[in-house]
Amino acid sequence: MALEYMQSLYLIILTVLQFTHSLEPADSEPVAIPTDKLLVFTVATQQTDGFLRFMQTAKYFNYTVKVLGMGKEWKGGDVGKSIGGGQKVRLLKEAMQNYADREDLVVMSVDSYDLIFAGGPEELLKKFQQANHKVVFAAEGLVWPDKRLADKYPSIRSGKRFLNSGGIIGYAPHINKIVQQWELHDNDDDQLFYTKVYLDPLQRERLNITLDHKSQIFQNLNGAVDEVLLKFGTESVRARNVVYDSMPVVIHGNGNTKIYLNYLANYIPNSWNYEQGCGVCDNDLFDFTEVKEYPSVTIGVFIEQPTPFVPEFFEKLLTLDYPKDKLDIFIHNNEVYHEKHMQKLWVQNKNVFKSFKVVGPEENLSQGEARNMGMEHCRKRESCDYYFSIDADVVLTNTQTLRLLIEQNRKIIGPLVSRHGKLWSNFWGALSLDGYYARSEDYIDIVQSKRVGVWNIPYMAHVYLIKGETLRNELKERNQFVLEKLDPDMALCKNAGQLGVFMYITNRHEFGRLISTANYNTSHFNNDLWQIFENPVDWKEKYIHQNYSKIFTQNLAEQPCPDVFWFPIFSEKACDELIGEMEHYGSWSGGKYTDKRISGGYENVPTDDIHMTQVDYEKEWLHFIREYISPVTLKVFSGYYTKGYALLNFVVKYTPEGQASLRPHHDSSTFTINIALNSKGTDFEGGGCKFHRYNCSLESPRKGWSFMHPGRLTHLHEGLPTTNGTRYIAISFIDP
């Protein structure tokens, strides 16, 4: 009873003293604490990416930081999953013995792996003084680790009620008195220890402890992500707590909020530069001018499903501006369909690179196992400086990609690639609580390059570069891609995240794009011809003549006969593959009219042909007419707007042995296109087209070039005899 009486009397006296002090006139602001009287402590046993980022932010704001425990064994337990962290208190206890009597010294102890500074020492000390207590702990809305203690917390009118030990600031003697009470084990819980000190009314009053209830100094993100938004100023960016209208100085990604902290750290603490982008852009770069030899790179290529434009993928890979003797190639092809492409690639390039290995579908590897194998191909060789993983659905258009990624000097970094005209890309800006996709606030701006920089992100796929030393250290376990029921790419990202390895995406340059593998039908002879809808950019790049755009920019459209226009339209590959498709089909009409859909006989003069409908290419061909022929029509036949509709679309074959020529006739069309699919002199002799009304002939057709001429009334014409070889032309009667 006597003890309880003394405690009550003590509290009454303290209350009276505080009330008396509050009545004293506040004529002036307290004298500001000099910044050289602030010392920051943190405990870190390893230089993780999170720790290095913490130190970068401290350096940016000019904090004095003393690191405790670096290089020592961590015995504090797995604090990310359970209780622990007592080793931090023990190390701080030992360090504070040297500062126990420094009454003018303000000490702050913070975590470092998941924490950044957002403001400077002056702001921090000012807010500490405004708190008007000797010790201030961070606060959060969730009680941890013992929920039973919730009712013992003092009631507050508003704000976060519960203590978080990730941030403490106070005068050195007071901090010392707290930590000197530690007599527990390294794997006991640090937050529980501090909580019990705070919940003791006598200690709370004697040591003058409070919590930062409204996040003036410390912002814990756990349970508060929705409260924190970025505030963009003209020269800087800050995180703002919209509930308490505060600008916290320290941001702590505790609990499962590290991904959101990474997002915030893309913009703060550095001044936001709209040309250079995020603050992480100023990382120490790899300088190629200072090395005698280029780093050695293993390129892992993965073809895990039928993929369009695979030959073109390898063509672009071969044009990378990087010494071939520094490249080791590992390819996993999971598709029998692509074996023909692999065989051709092997024959042409097996001696080009430092090494070349192909693992085919006969190995029956899962995607995760194959990716583990490719990564191990680099990991097990000390000479491998980098591992560059790329899927066959990535179109690299920047020959400097490897060099640009290496220069950024990251453990894991990928180039931003997205589907043309779409928001689908190779990274996620955020994750949902269950670990799947969530759109970050800046995702669209990054994909559309409205914000340019190097971005810390939680997920990437398709293409990325990893340092060899990272594979041999943090990611040293062979299995990185097989985890629970996750996709291989998600497994890798989760493993990297759990190990504290940051992943970055860069959009500081244009690198290329992703193609769609959806609905890729491999039942045709040349399947890429059918990709005009799914992958129009790649279709155009492969099949449209390289000089097509000059029709509009340089008037590259000749007029060899009146109202007969001649212009480039198809590439060599388009011509060859269209011929190949028809010959593979093989059912040439032999000069008989075969299109049963057409009544009235639009094919006035039957030819030896195969119609687009017969090879299931009608809708693709009509789309080609609308996309590439219609603009030319508008240019050369000014004022005429074509509907781009044609009932008759076919490939004609002329041979001396079969049908060699075509008698004079009018086409049943408003206008006709006639595309030469092979070369005179190389593939055939003779041929051409004569327009009788003008006594004008075109006898030297160019492969890939098209005639365009009116169909009815004026342009009676005939096909001149083919005297040797085989001549192929593609015909469309447009707007019949």
Model confidence at 7, pLDDT cuts 50, 70, 90, reads low
Residue with tokens 């670096």: 70
The angle at the Cα of 131, spanning 210 to 172, to the nearest 5 degrees, equals 70
- Mean pLDDT score, 579-592: 91
> Has this prediction a pTM greater than 0.85?
yes
Phi-psi region of 409 (alpha: psi -120 to 50; beta: other; left: phi over 0): left
**Predicted confidence (pLDDT) per residue in 424-458, tens digit:** 999 999 998 788 899 999 999 999 999 999 999 99
CA atoms of 168 and 194, how far apart (whole Å): 10
Model confidence at 661, pLDDT cuts 50, 70, 90, reads confident
When the pLDDT of each residue in the chain is averaged and rounded to a whole number, the result is 91
For residue 121, the number of C-alpha atoms closer than 13 Å in the C-beta half-sphere is 20
Greatest Cα pair distance, the chain, in angstroms, is 127
For 666, the token pair is: 């009018």
For 60, the token pair is: 């940016």
Best CA proximity match to 239, nearest among 223, 255, 259, 225: 225
CA atoms of 577 and 158, how far apart (whole Å): 73
- Mean pLDDT score, 98-112: 97
Model confidence at 595, pLDDT cuts 50, 70, 90, reads low
Q: Which H or E run includes 261?
A: helix 258-265
What pLDDT score does 489 carry?
97
- Mean pLDDT score, 557-566: 92
Model confidence at 692, pLDDT cuts 50, 70, 90, reads confident
CA atoms of 379 and 478, how far apart (whole Å): 9
Give 17-74 as a 3 state SS string: HHHHHHCCCCCCCCCCCCHHHEEEEEECCCCCHHHHHHHHHHHHHCCCEEEECCCCCC
Phi-psi region of 563 (alpha: psi -120 to 50; beta: other; left: phi over 0): left
Give the total residue count for the chain: 736
How does DSSP classify residue 179?
H
What pLDDT score does 19 carry?
45
Complete edge-to-edge strand list for the sheet that includes strand 65-68: 65-68, 38-43, 106-110, 162-171, 135-140, 209-212
What pLDDT score does 688 carry?
86
What pLDDT score does 108 carry?
98
Model confidence at 23, pLDDT cuts 50, 70, 90, reads very low
**567 within 8 A of 712, measured Cβ to Cβ:** no
How far CA 27 is from CA of 17, 23, 30, 34, 132, in Å, comes to: 19, 12, 9, 21, 16
pLDDT at 487 over 80: yes
Residues 6 or more apart from 57 whose CB is under 8 A from it? 116, 117, 118, 265, 269
Best CA proximity match to 529, nearest among 682, 651, 688: 651
**230 within 8 A of 267, measured Cβ to Cβ:** yes
Residue with tokens 């969730």: 142
Please state, as a whole number, how many other Cβ atoms lie within 10 Å of the Cβ of residue 341: 18
For 225, the token pair is: 């992500």
b/e burial code for range 321-335 (CB count within 10 A of at least 16 → b): ebeeebbbbbbbbbb
**55 within 8 A of 65, measured Cβ to Cβ:** yes
For 146, the token pair is: 């013992």
Residue with tokens 């708190």: 131
Position with higher pLDDT, 267 vs 537: 537
For residue 203, the number of C-alpha atoms closer than 13 Å in the C-beta half-sphere is 14
How far CA 540 is from CA of 338, 500, 534, in Å, comes to: 22, 43, 12
**608 within 8 A of 659, measured Cβ to Cβ:** yes
CA atoms of 603 and 717, how far apart (whole Å): 14
Bridge partner list, 302? 332, 391
Model confidence at 325, pLDDT cuts 50, 70, 90, reads very high
Best CA proximity match to 104, nearest among 180, 173, 175: 173
What pLDDT score does 21 carry?
47
- Mean pLDDT score, 80-92: 93
pLDDT at 463 over 50: yes
pLDDT at 398 over 60: yes
What pLDDT score does 99 carry?
97
Bridge partner list, 211? 137
How does DSSP classify residue 570?
B
Best CA proximity match to 197, nearest among 238, 248, 163, 240: 163
Position with higher pLDDT, 324 vs 1: 324
Least confidently predicted of 246-255, 461-470, 479-488, 588-597: 588-597
**406 within 8 A of 295, measured Cβ to Cβ:** yes
**Predicted confidence (pLDDT) per residue in 209-256, tens digit:** 999 999 999 999 999 999 999 998 877 889 999 999 999 999 999 999
For 266, the token pair is: 């893309």
CA atoms of 163 and 194, how far apart (whole Å): 8
CA atoms of 660 and 438, how far apart (whole Å): 63
What pLDDT score does 273 carry?
54
CA atoms of 522 and 41, how far apart (whole Å): 62
CA atoms of 38 and 32, how far apart (whole Å): 12
Please state, as a whole number, how many other Cβ atoms lie within 10 Å of the Cβ of residue 644: 18
Bridge partner list, 273? 277
pLDDT at 279 over 50: no
For 644, the token pair is: 């781009």
Q: Is 727 a catalytic residue?
A: yes
Position with higher pLDDT, 617 vs 590: 617
CA 558 to chain CA mean position, Å: 45
Residues 6 or more apart from 22 whose CB is under 8 A from it? none
What pLDDT score does 20 carry?
45
For residue 396, the number of C-alpha atoms closer than 13 Å in the C-beta half-sphere is 28
Highest mean pLDDT among 26-35, 273-282, 640-649: 640-649
How does DSSP classify residue 678?
S
Residue with tokens 């005429």: 640
pLDDT at 540 over 80: yes
